[in-house]
Structure 1
Amino acid sequence: MPASSDAAYPAPDPIVAATRNRRGAKLSLVAPMHNETEVLDAFFGRIGRTIEDLGVEAEVICIDDGSRDDTLARLLDWARRDPRIKVIGLARNFGKEAAMTAGIDAATGDMVVPIDADLQDPPELIEEFVRLWERGFDVVYGVRVDRSSDSFVKRFTANAFYKVFNRVSDLSIPMSAGDFRLMDRRVVEALKTLPERNRFMKGLFAWVGFSQVGVPYVRPPRAAGNTSFGYLKLLRFALDGITSFSTVPLRVWSVLGLSAAVLAFFAAVGLVIRVMVVGREVPGYASLMVVILLGFAVQMLAFGVLGEYVGRLYQEVKGRPIYIVSRRAGFED
């Protein structure tokens, strides 16, 4: 848990801070879910205690992202028992980013907090988020300072991604910051104006700006069940993030192409001079094949990078909705 001293955080906007108080404010929790039936009881138990301790009006928006187990049925049962719980069932599995977008679009609170249902985002940390929101910060995000609950491979790849993203993008996202954060209403309204289909929410959270501050915490293991994010999904997620906020991969191939052209020119000049000085010679088959195969491999890699951007452009041009809702429960008609 973070230190409670205000000295640990930068100074917020005093004008904004003077107008904020949790009394009379509403908190919206947004929880995307995919096959989370094993953790629901523990999740709602801790969320309920957290809301009571905060003493605020609250809603818990649960988005079922095409689960294959009975997650949706159990969510609907919880919604019937607790009026604070609202359920959005998506027509199929659209992915976590789309599910989170659906929840943020539906949230009506003055404060909106995306949170994972597996309880690796400790609900008790929301108290510190709200306190800093009252001080004037528009975004308060959690920073995972200890990820020992994750595997070595996941920790290594996550750290590598953050470093690569911040190096190649004009936008900087905080190291080890996830989706777990509190956002003021005006930040949410700004997010809702962003229409792109390939959504990398961590980048969008940073792109909209506003005053932001991080709160360190220790990431606990999952309360139950298994993650739906395999390494292939994480790789695709990383590619979406980089290509959504950087054109450096395209510029790299422009530089490589120019460099290859310059080298080829000097090599051609050298061959001409060599023939003029020592006469014609038979070129080596091995060296010729190496050059051909290497050039072919480089071209295919360049086409692959270009294809990533063209594919995302294709998705945006079609203009399909980010998600489709098949069922809603607990919302006022």
Structure 2
Amino acid sequence: MIYWWQKGYKDVCLKRRSREGESFIKKTTSHFYYKLLQHLTDIPIQPDVGDSRLLDRKCIDALKSIRETQRYTKGLFSWIGFEKKEILFDRKPRVAGKTKWNYWKLINLAIQGITSFTITPLRIASGMGAVLAIIAILYMLYILSLTLIYNNPVPGYPSLICIILFIGGIQLFVLGIIGEYLGRVFIESKNRPPYFIKSYIRGEK
């Protein structure tokens, strides 16, 4: 790690090439989680990378400037940027003891990772509400056409379902809009620096 740091890399980390001793379920869920996180966020979060790494002073200063208390370190390491170098290794099975990371803690960590770096779930909720409202409107137009044009009265049950879908869709859409504003307030409350200074160039006086 020191070798690559001396080569100019600011963040030298260890990446698991293999995960011996882990169950198939854990490997699969971990793989899909990182795939989901990559699609939801604009940050290239490194998969299969642990917290064992060598950080340059510039990276440490950047992390210290972030004042938020709920820290998802895997995301923060990627968010600060700087040159990164991954060193592959094969992780052997645990020799003694048991991991303290049960599935419940891993689920909480996954939720923290998603909510710390994206408001996409709020936008998905808003989009689902809009889609439901549009489907309800189209179905109402279909019912009206059957009644007015073809003189085919539709029973009250489909109409009731259509109204429920429309109202539910509008509610979900409005909640999504409110969530969008709350998400922006949430991002601003983190007070993350807009940029980091990589180097200074002294000009001539």
Report TM bin, short chain: 0.7 to 0.9
Residue pair 2:147, 2:154 contacting (<8 A) in 1 also = no
Which of 121, 126, 129 is equivalent to 1:257? Answer: 129
In structure 2, C-alpha distance between the alignment counterparts of 1:223 and 1:287, rounded to whole Å: 64
- Superposition pairs for residues 72-87 of structure 1, below 5 Å? none
The percent identity for this pair of structures is 37
Task: Provide the secondary structure at the position in 1 that maps to 2:149.
Answer: helix
In structure 1, C-alpha distance between the alignment counterparts of 2:22 and 2:156, rounded to whole Å: 52
Which of 82, 91, 98 is equivalent to 1:226? Answer: 98
Q: Which residue of 2 aligns with 1:33?
A: none
In structure 2, C-alpha distance between the alignment counterparts of 1:225 and 1:290, rounded to whole Å: 57
Unaligned runs of 5+ in 1: 1-128, 318-333
Structure 1 residue 257, shift from structure 2 partner: 1.8
Q: Which residue of 1 aligns with 2:84?
A: 212
Instruction: Return the structure number with greater strand share.
Output: 1
In structure 2, C-alpha distance between the alignment counterparts of 1:290 and 1:230, rounded to whole Å: 44
Structure 1 residue 279, shift from structure 2 partner: 3.4
In structure 2, C-alpha distance between the alignment counterparts of 1:287 and 1:225, rounded to whole Å: 61
Which 4+ residue blocks in structure 1 deviate beyond 3 angstroms?
278-282, 284-293
Cα distance 1:276–1:285, how it changes in 2: closer, same or farther (>3 A)? closer
Q: Which residue of 2 aligns with 1:160?
A: 32
The farther-off stretch of 204-213 and 268-277 is 268-277
Amino acid corresponding to residue 35 of structure 2 in structure 1:
K
Structure 1 residue 148, shift from structure 2 partner: 2.2
In structure 2, C-alpha distance between the alignment counterparts of 1:292 and 1:159, rounded to whole Å: 38
- Superposition pairs for residues 1-333 of structure 1, below 5 Å? 129-279=1-151, 281=153, 283=155, 285=157
RMSD value over aligned CA atoms? 3.4
Structure 1 residue 139, shift from structure 2 partner: 0.4
In structure 2, C-alpha distance between the alignment counterparts of 1:192 and 1:244, rounded to whole Å: 17
Amino acid corresponding to residue 171 of structure 1 in structure 2:
I
Amino acid corresponding to residue 21 of structure 2 in structure 1:
S
In structure 1, C-alpha distance between the alignment counterparts of 2:175 and 2:111, rounded to whole Å: 15
In structure 2, C-alpha distance between the alignment counterparts of 1:241 and 1:155, rounded to whole Å: 18
Amino acid corresponding to residue 160 of structure 1 in structure 2:
F
In structure 2, C-alpha distance between the alignment counterparts of 1:192 and 1:284, rounded to whole Å: 62
Structure 1 residue 175, shift from structure 2 partner: 2.1
In structure 2, C-alpha distance between the alignment counterparts of 1:188 and 1:235, rounded to whole Å: 28
The total of aligned residue pairs comes to: 186
In structure 1, C-alpha distance between the alignment counterparts of 2:156 and 2:97, rounded to whole Å: 60
String of CA shifts for 1:238-279, please: whole Å, max 9, x gaps: 111011111211111222222222222222222112111343
In structure 2, C-alpha distance between the alignment counterparts of 1:275 and 1:287, rounded to whole Å: 12
In structure 2, C-alpha distance between the alignment counterparts of 1:211 and 1:286, rounded to whole Å: 59
Residue pair 2:136, 2:162 contacting (<8 A) in 1 also = no
In structure 2, C-alpha distance between the alignment counterparts of 1:190 and 1:252, rounded to whole Å: 32
Structure 1 residue 287, shift from structure 2 partner: 9.0
Amino acid corresponding to residue 200 of structure 1 in structure 2:
Y
Task: Provide the secondary structure at the position in 2 that maps to 1:150.
Answer: coil
In structure 2, C-alpha distance between the alignment counterparts of 1:206 and 1:235, rounded to whole Å: 21
String of CA shifts for 1:174-233, please: whole Å, max 9, x gaps: 221121211111211110111112211000001111110100000112232111111111
Amino acid corresponding to residue 33 of structure 2 in structure 1:
F
Unaligned runs of 5+ in 2: 190-205
Structure 1 residue 285, shift from structure 2 partner: 4.4
Instruction: Return the structure number with greater helix share.
Output: 2
Task: Provide the secondary structure at the position in 2 that maps to 1:182.
Answer: strand
